[in-house]
């Protein structure tokens, strides 16, 4: 079955950058829709960025202009480049994938079937 493994999290100062990676395996066909989600203490899990089977992207307003989602199909890897990080970006970040959903649902956690274990991002002021 599909497995997703995130990496690249860590601790940075405000204004710094991180690049998260999500390695996917176990899928039997392409294309997949994939996304990044985050959850901070006391908050609901929210969609951060998504990319559909046609490589169309979608971002939550709070990260537009700072984060970039991309994928390397040959490497079966999803990325999230995070620049100009803010303390409010601190959260556990999760990679998710689905084999059928489209652009409209990219930032909706309940529409994804496959999830990674998460990687922690901490931004200090």
pLDDT at 78: 95
pLDDT digits (tens, 9 = 90+) for 48-74: 999 998 889 999 999 999 999 999 878
Q: Which pLDDT band, with edges at 50, 70 and 90, does 99 fall under?
A: confident
Q: Which pLDDT band, with edges at 50, 70 and 90, does 112 fall under?
A: very high
Angle at 7 between CA 10 and CA 114, to 5 degrees: 130
DSSP string over 29-80: SS--EEEEEEE-TTS--EEEEEE-TT--EEE-GGGTTTEEEEEETTTTEEEE
């Amino acid at each position: 079955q599909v497995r997703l493994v995130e990496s690249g999290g860590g601790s940075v100062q405000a204004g710094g950058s991180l690049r998260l990676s999500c390695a996917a395996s176990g899928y039997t066909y392409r294309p997949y829709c994939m996304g990044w989600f985050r959850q901070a203490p006391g908050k609901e899990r929210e969609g951060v960025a998504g990319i559909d089977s046609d490589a169309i992207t979608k971002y939550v307003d709070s990260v537009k202009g700072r984060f970039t989602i991309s994928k390397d199909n040959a490497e079966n890897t999803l990325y999230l480049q995070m620049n100009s990080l803010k303390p409010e970006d601190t959260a556990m970040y999760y990679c998710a994938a689905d084999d059928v959903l489209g652009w409209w649902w990219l930032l909706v956690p309940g529409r994804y079937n496959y999830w990674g274990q998460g990687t922690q991002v901490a931004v200090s002021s």
